[in-house]
Amino acid sequence: MSPPSDVKVVLLGTEYCGKSSLVERYLHDRFRGENCYQNTVGAAYGSKLFEINVNGSPRALIMGIWDTAGSERYQSMSRLYYRSARAAILCFDITCRESWAKVQFWKKEVQRHERLCRIYLCATKMDKLLAEDQADGTEGHAPAIEGAVVSRFAQESEAALFHTTRIGSSPTTNFVFHLNPPHFTFGMPLAARARARSLSTESGLCCEVVDTLHRALPVTKAGAHSDEEP
Amino acid sequence: MADGQTGLHPARASERTRVAPGGPTNAERLNDGAEAGIFAPPPAGLMPRSRPQGPALQPPPPTPGGGSAKLLCRNGCGFFGNPEWHWYCSKCWRAHPQRSLVAPPTTRSSGLTLGPPASPRSRPASAGTSAGGGGSTTRSSGDPRASHSGPKAPSGDLTLRQRLKLTPKSPRSPASATGAPSGPPATFDWRQHLSNLPHIRASTECLSAGQVLASHLRHWVDGKSLAEIWVLIHTLLEKIDASHETTPIDTIASQVQEVYLTLRAKFIQWDVPDDDLSVILEQSEAYLSLATYPLLFCPSSTNDEEKDLRLQNRIRSLNWITTQELRCVIQESSQRVRDLLHDAINDIVALDSQQTPQAKLKSLVTCCKKLIEMLLISNEKAASADEFLPCLIYVCLKANPPRLQSNVNYITRFCIEDNLRMGDGGYYFASLCSALSFIENMDAASVDMDSTDFHNYVTGRSLPPGSWKCTLLMSEGLQVMVQNKRILESLSERQHQALTQTTSLSQQMDNFAQEIHEEVADILRKTAYVIKAPRTVKRLHFPVTSSSTKEPPCSKLVDLPTPTGHQLSLDNFEGCSTQNAIPGIVCQNLQHLSLQEEDDDLM
């Protein structure tokens, strides 16, 4: 069942950091009612068929999203999952320092074993921070990781950075949408970073991440990079 | 095709480095690095590089749960070793001088190309031309000799088991070699060719798979290309048939994979659409694997069988593990969940009985989908990998599927690579490998337990508290009992319902009868009969009173029942027009009679 262009996307991150919600949201919520290609119940594995335009000619792609078990005890097995993956989404809970530490670990692992794998960072649960930003003093979590640290890390590892809120919470303009999409071609390593293209978005919803990801994946000519948007 | 090149099959990777011994490729280096970087050695299932045991190799005792220092390569290069490579790392194992004993050069000289696999483009051409000039005859007659001479040359290195397997089969080879066909490739008779291969016994499934493949192929390609494909497949079959006992299994696996790639390239060249392409590829895979399954599944040249036994014992020693230890969140008390669990166990056990990699994967996928459904029922939300993997581990522990390691190895070696890398089959297979790896390396820390407790439980010295619960839940008799109880409950419920309904029906009937009675009585009361006849009769007789000599005309009717008497006998009926009419008619008759008499009198 595999046309020549399959894209394997693997989700890595600690337990309960929201990676499963990401897939669930993407596969089951947003595209409900559309002609979606989806053959499993549950978010452990999902696949989606979509068409892209490569140099003017349409091309079918199947994106398979592989969820991994984030628990420490299954850590040693994760390599079975990210083997020959084309993209890895490293999720971390913005309020949890351990999950950030794990992201750094995964980044090294993935970059060492899968040269062709693009890395995407995804800071989840941004809504918890927002609660604190509001002046009424509601209980909110302090960010466990400085935003600057995260963006520096993202730049160093040439990774696109996304912020997402919990499902159901309303997106705000405070969310910064960095996009550093890759010059991505099948079977070829990264080329030089391309011209900057700013892409800001009002919505930091989960599904945006993967959506933007698969828009970014097939790009062969125009990569993009954006500066921070205040 | 870039995908196919980059997704490295372990077996092919090893093949490639053997071709170019200048140094490991990047990918190989990555593999080695992986073992060093990850805490536990990778599962045996995904890196099958087993070799027959040479006499000079003494593997150190395996150290489950030991420190990572003991897992290092015996060469001291700093990378991790693997029991499959006798505790060398992959690089040192390949460089090890003893390896040459395993595949002696004598077998290679007998017409077989075990060296670098031909490129996908060049191979079919050579196969086609050589078969065209009667090449297939010389090849097939040469091959049995190869298997004949094979066991003699390296006899010192073969185990007894291998030699026992070789000797009874060799007498058959020369006889069949004489009957090898030499047809031109334009009309390649695959059936006949198959029946002439000495070791391959074509089962009915295999023949039907061949037929399906043939009909499908005919739809897409012309006669010459069809023959080309058959020659390609059957050259491989011949090769496997002749040398399956002497060639390392990984070499065979890479040859098979090479054929899949060649086929794929050809179909793309012939513009077969994607969907049909994958169908045809799967059908060729089915045909190939059904033909060679007895030879290539758990072959004697590997230690798959021992690994199966080891895994089985390991799972048996862990049968006390419950869902709590695994943090597997399923509601075992729910009957629906238990039914699904049993179905899933059946599916994963059925994996062994399937004979093609695709079918095996399919039963794995069915099993996993049931698990996901089970999790969905238990948690009321979509299952993620965090919940799914423990569940799969639990099912593996409870099912203890037969020859699981062999099955995993077989799928890894002979499944079309793309199907293993992509799709839900690939995902669940990776999960299964993870589960096996977890089971093999499970220790006290990985299930959050005290290490002495864990040791005691594993060795069977003591039983964990609450283990009876799990056993009870899994017990067959209890299952049946619970099911029967459920059926009985539903029966009694239905009986009760039936009883209530009967009572209410009889009540309704009584009511109805009562109502009818009342209504009848009511109507009767309203329409009480009033006798009018006497008055009419009186009036009629009035004018003839003068002729009193005659007896009154009504005296003739004395015997008739009086209208009132008649009326009384009709009491039970509802008033209707006929009944009312009867006295009327009688009266009219009477009147008529009396009038006639009067006339007679007047005359």
Q: Each residue of B76-119: pLDDT tens digit?
A: 777 777 766 677 777 777 666 554 444 443 333 333 333 343 33
Confidence of residue B596 (pLDDT cuts 50, 70, 90): low
Cα separation, A141 vs B573, whole angstroms? 92
Phi, psi of B17 (to 5 degrees): -70, -25
Tell the burial category of A131 from Cβ atoms under 10 Å away from its Cβ (0-12, 13-18, 19+): middle
Residue B14's pLDDT is what? 43
Cα separation, B79 vs A69, whole angstroms? 26
- Judging contacts by C-beta atoms under 8 Å, the chain A residues touching residue B431 are 44
Cβ–Cβ below 8 Å for A44 and B384: yes
Query: How many helices (H) and strands (E) in chain B?
Result: 29, 0
Low-confidence ranges of chain A (pLDDT < 70): 1-5, 24-43, 50-61, 127, 129-142, 164-230
Residue A229's pLDDT is what? 32
Stretch 299-328 of chain B: residues touching chain A, C-beta under 8 Å = 327
Q: How far is CA A135 from CA A130, A132, A176, B121, B400, in A?
A: 10, 7, 20, 69, 58
- Judging contacts by C-beta atoms under 8 Å, the chain A residues touching residue B5 are 187
**Out of A43, A74, A115, closest to residue B389 by CB:** A74
Cβ–Cβ below 8 Å for A2 and B37: no
Which comes out higher in pLDDT, residue A33 or B373? B373
Residue B431's pLDDT is what? 92
Stretch 36-65 of chain B: residues touching chain A, C-beta under 8 Å = 37-40, 42-43, 46
- Judging contacts by C-beta atoms under 8 Å, the chain A residues touching residue B446 are 73
Residue B257's pLDDT is what? 92
**Out of A16, A80, A188, closest to residue B433 by CB:** A80
Cβ–Cβ below 8 Å for B6 and A66: no
> Which DSSP category does B549 fall into?
T
- Judging contacts by C-beta atoms under 8 Å, the chain B residues touching residue A16 are 386
Torsion sign, CA atoms B74, B78, B84, B85: negative
Sheet holding A6-12, edge to edge: A45-54, A57-67, A6-12, A87-93, A118-124, A160-163
Residue B495's pLDDT is what? 97
Stretch 112-141 of chain B: residues touching chain A, C-beta under 8 Å = none
**Out of B382, B428, B438, closest to residue A74 by CB:** B438
- What's the full length of chain B, in residues? 603
- Judging contacts by C-beta atoms under 8 Å, the chain A residues touching residue B37 are 109, 112-113
Phi, psi of A160 (to 5 degrees): -75, 145
User: Is residue B344 predicted with pLDDT exceeding 70?
Assistant: yes
Query: What tokens does B412 get?
Result: 């890894």
CATH, domain A7-224, list 2.60.40.10, 3.40.50.300, 3.40.50.720, 3.40.830.10: 3.40.50.300
Confidence of residue B598 (pLDDT cuts 50, 70, 90): low
Q: How many CB atoms lie within 10 A of CB B167?
A: 10
Residues B433-474 pLDDT 10s: 999 999 998 888 888 888 888 888 888 888 777 666 666 666
Residue B499's pLDDT is what? 97
Cα separation, A28 vs A41, whole angstroms? 9
Residue A55's pLDDT is what? 62
- Judging contacts by C-beta atoms under 8 Å, the chain B residues touching residue A67 are 384-385, 388
- Judging contacts by C-beta atoms under 8 Å, the chain A residues touching residue B2 are 186-188
- Name the minimum distance, in Å, from the CA of B182 to any CA of chain A: 36
Residue B536's pLDDT is what? 61
Residue B173's pLDDT is what? 38
Cβ–Cβ below 8 Å for B423 and A1: yes
Query: What tokens does B574 get?
Result: 């509802």
Tell me which of B54-68, B133-147, B285-299 is least confident: B133-147
Q: Is B446 on the interface with A (CB under 8 A)?
A: yes
- Name the minimum distance, in Å, from the CA of B445 to any CA of chain A: 8
- Judging contacts by C-beta atoms under 8 Å, the chain A residues touching residue B390 are 69
Mean of pLDDT values over B395-406: 91
- Cα A68 versus chain centre, distance: 14
Tell the burial category of B307 from Cβ atoms under 10 Å away from its Cβ (0-12, 13-18, 19+): buried
* B394: nearest Cα among B374, B415, B410, B417: B374
Q: Is B330 on the interface with A (CB under 8 A)?
A: no
Size of the A and B interface in Cβ pairs below 8 Å: 146
Cβ–Cβ below 8 Å for A42 and B1: no
Q: Is B1 on the interface with A (CB under 8 A)?
A: yes
Q: Is A189 on the interface with B (CB under 8 A)?
A: no
- Name the minimum distance, in Å, from the CA of B383 to any CA of chain A: 5
Residues B213-234 pLDDT 10s: 888 888 888 878 888 888 889 8
Cβ–Cβ below 8 Å for A70 and B40: no
Tell the burial category of B423 from Cβ atoms under 10 Å away from its Cβ (0-12, 13-18, 19+): buried
User: Is residue B184 predicted with pLDDT exceeding 50?
Assistant: no
- Name the minimum distance, in Å, from the CA of A34 to any CA of chain B: 20
Cα separation, B383 vs B376, whole angstroms? 6
Stretch 10-49 of chain A: residues touching chain B, C-beta under 8 Å = 15-16, 19-20, 23-24, 28, 39-45, 47
* Highest mean pLDDT (candidates B138-147, B240-249, B485-494): B485-494
**Out of B2, B278, B421, closest to residue A187 by CB:** B2
- Judging contacts by C-beta atoms under 8 Å, the chain B residues touching residue A28 are 382
Residue A34's pLDDT is what? 37
- Name the minimum distance, in Å, from the CA of A182 to any CA of chain B: 18
Cα separation, B378 vs B334, whole angstroms? 8
> pTM of the full predicted structure?
0.60
Stretch 219-278 of chain B: residues touching chain A, C-beta under 8 Å = 268, 274, 278
Domains belonging to chain B, first-starting first, are 304-476 (1.20.1050.80), 533-602 (no CATH)
DSSP string computed for chain A: ---S-EEEEEEE--TTSSHHHHHHIIIIITTTTS------SSSSEEEEEEEEEETTEEEEEEEEEEE---SGGGGGGHHHHHTT-SEEEEEEETT-HHHHHHHHHHHHHHHHH-TT-EEEEEEE-HHHHHHHHSTT----PPPSS-HHHHHHHHHHTT-EEEE-PPTTSPP-TT----------BTTB-------------S---HHHHHHHHHHHTT-SS---------
DSSP-derived 3-state class of residue B80: strand
- Judging contacts by C-beta atoms under 8 Å, the chain B residues touching residue A3 are 274
- Name the minimum distance, in Å, from the CA of A200 to any CA of chain B: 30
Residues B535-593 pLDDT 10s: 665 555 555 555 545 555 555 555 555 555 444 444 444 444 444 545 555 555 555 55
Q: Is A51 on the interface with B (CB under 8 A)?
A: no
Which comes out higher in pLDDT, residue A176 or B61? B61
Cα separation, B270 vs B274, whole angstroms? 11
Cα separation, B182 vs B76, whole angstroms? 54
- Name the minimum distance, in Å, from the CA of B169 to any CA of chain A: 39
Cα separation, B363 vs B353, whole angstroms? 10
Q: Is B388 on the interface with A (CB under 8 A)?
A: yes
Residue B503's pLDDT is what? 97
Contacts of residue B21, defined as CB under 8 A and 6 or more positions apart, other chains included, come to none
For residue A67, give the chain B residue with the closest CA: B385
* A103: nearest Cα among A81, A116, A121: A121
Q: Could you state, in order of their start, the residue ranges of all structural domains in chain A?
A: 7-224
- What's the full length of chain A, in residues? 230
- Name the minimum distance, in Å, from the CA of B177 to any CA of chain A: 39
